[in-house]
Homo-oligomer: A and B are copies of this chain.
Amino acid sequence: MINLEVPETLATVVSQAHRAAAEILRPGSRRNDRAEHTRPPELDVLGPLADHLSAFGPGGGPKPANKAENRNGSNLTSVLGIMEMCWGDAGLLLSLPRLGLGNAAIASVANEEQAKRFAGKWAAMAITEPDCGSDSAAIRTTAALDGDEYVLDGEKIFVTSGERADVVVVWATLDKSKGRAAIKSFVVEKGTPGFELVRLEHKLGIRASDTAHFRLENVRVPRENLLGDPEIDVRRGFAGVMQTFDNTRPLVAAMAVGVARAALDETRRLLTDAGLTIDYDRAGPRQPAAVAAFIALEADYEASYLLTLEAAWMADNARPNSLPASMAKAKAGRCATDITLRCIELVGSLGYSEDSLLEKWARDAKIMDIFEGTQQVQQLIVARRLLGKSSTELK
């Protein structure tokens, strides 16, 4: 039966996440934003919470026993939890120990031995290189088998939590001539000789989260640190990696939704304090411009929110969700930027000042439309599916 409300069964998790967001994440938002590259003190408290949340992570939890049965499982729980946490602070959410993208990758493609060996490690993910953005097939970092070890050489940028994580999952190619199929991911322990932190980035937003730039020179890792299948299978080699993205896109969409809601909640408070009433029934040309604008922004929020829930719900019910995942990411990514920027304008100079968090959210939001596949990448994925086109036809 069609119902788009959060079920009672998840209410507790959601309200716990909201409480953590309100009581732990939000209060330090401005401090952590100003103290870029300083480890947020909240991380110590958040470690245990993160471990609790990771039990609900995407791909985690039991699978549906019966295909016909409707499930509200770990994916839905994750996106709801993330929305609340990012309502608190997106930078801190991204810094949560052991909830890194690398952990998602390990969860998706590690074998049993690896899963056990890396359990409890905080894993960052290193994909992007100075000269490759969305084009992961252009990866130049190489991995060469030498005895029982792979030797990695290359350069990686935009590694979220790269400094704070215990290990980094590094994408590298076994053979540049074989394209995407030859790209594998390798777990590199921090402190491995030749694995050098070049710098931390100064960023527009999400400054509580560290973003690292690494150089790999003759970095040797045990051959058992290659995640998944070491063979180059041209037919399906890349599938495992892309699978990770199908799982993580709804999470990023959820982050965007959380930030957008933070801005809307604060703007609503300021508008109503200033004497305006948000009357949904009377929405029309005679109401104050700020109210009409607010409702239009809230409509885009609602769209982003529901697309995100849909993508997670489909994953919970073992339906292919690549299309809705990209739809959610595309819509939520662009709307979070629009909404947070417009909220500042509605409020005025007060919203532009560091006295308010509105300006921070407009800086944080912009990354949601960029990382884990830009707006353009999501549009390509959606368009290719709808039009039945390959990546060589629709580039």
Q: Residues of A with Cβ closer than 8 Å to B?
A: 276, 284-293, 346, 348
Contacts and interface: CB of A to CB of B under 8 A. Distances in A.
A346 B285 contact: yes
Q: How many copies does the complex hold?
A: 2
Contacts of A288: 285-289
Contacts of A276: 286
Contact of A285 (B284, B285, B293): B293
A290 B288 CA distance: 9
Contacts of A290: 285-286
A285 B285 CA distance: 13
Nearest to A292: B289
A285 B287 CA distance: 10
7 contacts: A276-B286, A285-B293, A285-B348, A287-B289, A289-B292, A289-B293, A292-B293
Nearest to A286: B288
A108 B293 CA distance: 49
A290 B285 CA distance: 4
A286 B287 CA distance: 9
Nearest to A347: B285
Contacts of A292: 289, 292-293
The 7 closest A-B pairs by CB, nearest first: A285-B290, A289-B292, A289-B289, A285-B289, A287-B289, A286-B288, A285-B346
A276 B287 CA distance: 11
Contacts of A286: 276, 288-290
Contacts of A348: 285
A276 B293 CA distance: 18
Nearest to A289: B292
Given A287-B289, A289-B292, A292-B292, 9 more contacts: A285-B288, A285-B289, A285-B293, A285-B348, A286-B288, A286-B289, A286-B290, A287-B288, A289-B289
Contacts of A346: 285
Contacts of A284: 289
Contacts of A291: 289
A143 to B, nearest CB: 35
A284 B286 CA distance: 14
A349 to B, nearest CB: 12
A191 B287 CA distance: 61
A286 to B, nearest CB: 5
A269 to B, nearest CB: 15
A287 B284 CA distance: 13
A263 to B, nearest CB: 15
A346 B292 CA distance: 12
User: Which of A289, A346, A348 neighbours the largest number of chain B CB atoms within 10 Å of its CB?
Assistant: A289
A291 B293 CA distance: 12
User: Which of A285, A290, A346 neighbours the largest number of chain B CB atoms within 10 Å of its CB?
Assistant: A285
Contacts of A289: 284-289, 291-293
A291 B285 CA distance: 8
Nearest to A284: B289
A144 to B, nearest CB: 36
A282 to B, nearest CB: 11
A334 to B, nearest CB: 19
A288 to B, nearest CB: 5
A264 to B, nearest CB: 15
A28 to B, nearest CB: 31
Contacts of A293: 285, 289, 292
A278 to B, nearest CB: 12
A392 to B, nearest CB: 15
Nearest to A346: B285
A293 B288 CA distance: 11
A94 to B, nearest CB: 33
